[in-house]
Structure 1
Amino acid sequence: MILNVQGKQAYCYTGGKAFDASRPTVAFIHGAQNDHSVFALQTRYFAHHGFNVLAVDLPGHGRSAGPALASVPGMADWLLAVLDAAGVGQAMLVGHSMGSLIALEASHQAPDKVSKLALLGTTWPMKVADALLETSKNDEAVAIDMVNIWSHSSMAQKPSCPGPGFYTMGMARRLMQRMSAINPEQLFFTDFSACNAYANGQAAAEAVRCPVLFVFGAKDMMTPPRSTKSLTTAMPHGKIVQVDAGHSMMQEQPDAVLDALFSFASAAN
């Protein structure tokens, strides 16, 4: 689905079903150097089981017009504008990595528009190592390879992969390379800098009153579970689910992530 948001084209994947604003809506927000496709299995299931799906391509990513936005608050404001453009009064937000910060900030900017909050592969502060930040600025291809290795818990395909014969690490690498090709304006550096600079996490987390789900990868090297204490402490009512995966949990353990998300979305408040 193509929307006009802040004067530019914004693409939202609807899970293969026609969008109907009268149904409960779940918005999915991807992380750095990615697009909506990282939620492919989860979004299709939601769309075919009673939910509206809006899996966004952030500005400058995938099919949404650029340039990429340089701050988490700016991306949160854009996300809220997407909901308005789609005619959605309230939605559950599902964010992965950088997308989790966007979801958190959106809930702070407009708490009445957020019914539930699911934060995957999250942490705050989401600091990026100086070496990785510098590499993303000066040699994006190398940064892609670094992140792809660190985002996966192993080279081998997990047994739960719904597509036997597919190579999860190779697919993730090609997706990031494609994002680089369609938006050569230092996309990875822009995304990483936004994560690194986001300073409102504590205040935003402490203000959250809606139901919260945390999904952590037990083998996550990008946002390790031990780094999440500030967020989980600020939102003590949040439910924590741990899956046997690295940072790219939606690909490594798609069924476990789906089960956690769908159970959370379906539960009464």
Structure 2
Amino acid sequence: MADPAPPFSGSAMVRLRAGDILGKVGYLRAGTGPVVVLIHGVGMHAQIWAPQITALAAHYDVIALDMLGHGRSMLPPDPPALADYADAVIGVLDALDVPKAALIGHSMGALVALQAGLQHADRVERLVAMNGVFQRSPDLRRAVLARAEELEEKGFSASIAPTLARWFGDPVPEDLAAVCALASDALQSVRVDGYRSTYALFATSDETFAPSLHTLSMPALFLTGALDANSSPAMSHAMAALAPLGRADIVPDARHMMALTHPDAINALLLAFLSETPAPLPHRDTLEHAGR
């Protein structure tokens, strides 16, 4: 069998803030079929999804985005809001004449996918929130806010080594050295201003969906790694318990960058979820009662 063609690299013009801000969002696109959108985390870019693009493009039309402030995409508005990042996703769908898509987001991308699912429910078929954060403990909140402050005080370059240690281990296991290098390259090439503003939003958004997850109207899979202390299994289980059509799966022995470190397991879970027949949504009265 011939090797698959490399993804098409393009950009789409999107409008934010009721059309007041116009700019480009970069993306990679591969495959044919129902549309699946991949949204990376802070400091990464669309290419970090390479293992998933290859696997999913055999069955789906895969669009991997450069998040606002990353890769070839415009900077977010100042100050940024999760709605800006979600509107950028929908703006790409509009530009490419895609009426509806499944969304898969990692880390900050999980927050963006959830925001899009709540804000643009008619455009989201189903979603996966990978390594998402939710209601951090006081200790975790202090730690992430301290990291955001250090970006201002010490500069971005000082944050790269401790970030990689959290994601892959310290020292990095030999069998993860290659994928750690990919993440390191992405961090070293990121736009510092885009990273800084996006990370500040990420650091303060873990409570955002507590009042609204009970209204999420599409099937939702909450995935994380058993060893991911900052996007913990407890967080994924808590979000899944609130979402009417939510469920959680925990990947054994995986940390934060499990799409890179455990691609076969992740791809199998994603393909299985994407192919499922949606369960009926509970009656609206049930959803409203759940939120009381």
Q: Secondary structure at the match of 1:77?
A: helix
Residue 167 of structure 2 aligns with which residue?
A: 151
Of 53, 75, 84, the residue aligned with 2:62 is 53
CA distance in 2, matches of 1:71, 1:144: 24
Look up the equivalent residue of 1:211 and give its one-letter code. Answer: P
Asked if the contact 1:121/1:215 (under 8 Å) is kept, the reply is yes
Of 68, 71, 86, the residue aligned with 1:76 is 86
CA distance in 2, matches of 1:77, 1:32: 17
Look up the equivalent residue of 1:207 and give its one-letter code. Answer: T
Q: How far does residue 121 in structure 1 lie from its aligned partner after superposition?
A: 0.2
Residue 7 of structure 2 aligns with which residue?
A: none
Q: Secondary structure at the match of 1:14?
A: strand
Residue 146 of structure 2 aligns with which residue?
A: 131
- The number of aligned residues is 253
Structure 2 residue runs without a partner (length 5+): 1-9, 16-21, 279-292
Question: For residues 100-153 of structure 1, what are the alpha-carbon distances to aligned partners after superposition, in whole Å with 9 as ceiling and x for unaligned?
Answer: 000001011111111111010012136462321111223211212211110124
CA distance in 1, matches of 2:263, 2:64: 16
Residue 259 of structure 1 aligns with which residue?
A: 268
Residue 186 of structure 2 aligns with which residue?
A: 175
Q: Secondary structure at the match of 2:41?
A: coil
CA distance in 2, matches of 1:118, 1:157: 29
CA distance in 2, matches of 1:266, 1:32: 28
Asked if the contact 1:92/1:114 (under 8 Å) is kept, the reply is yes
TM-score by length of 2: 0.80
Residue 4 of structure 2 aligns with which residue?
A: none
- Tell me if 1:216 matches 2:224: yes
Structure 1 residue runs without a partner (length 5+): none
CA distance in 1, matches of 2:174, 2:257: 12
Q: How far does residue 157 in structure 1 lie from its aligned partner after superposition?
A: 4.4
Q: How far does residue 5 in structure 1 lie from its aligned partner after superposition?
A: 1.4
CA distance in 2, matches of 1:229, 1:263: 19
Q: How far does residue 212 in structure 1 lie from its aligned partner after superposition?
A: 1.1
TM-score by length of 1: 0.86
Structure whose CA Rg is larger: 2
Residue 200 of structure 2 aligns with which residue?
A: 193
CA distance in 2, matches of 1:85, 1:125: 34
**Cα RMSD between the aligned structures?**
2.0
- Tell me if 1:63 matches 2:72: yes
Residue 11 of structure 2 aligns with which residue?
A: 2
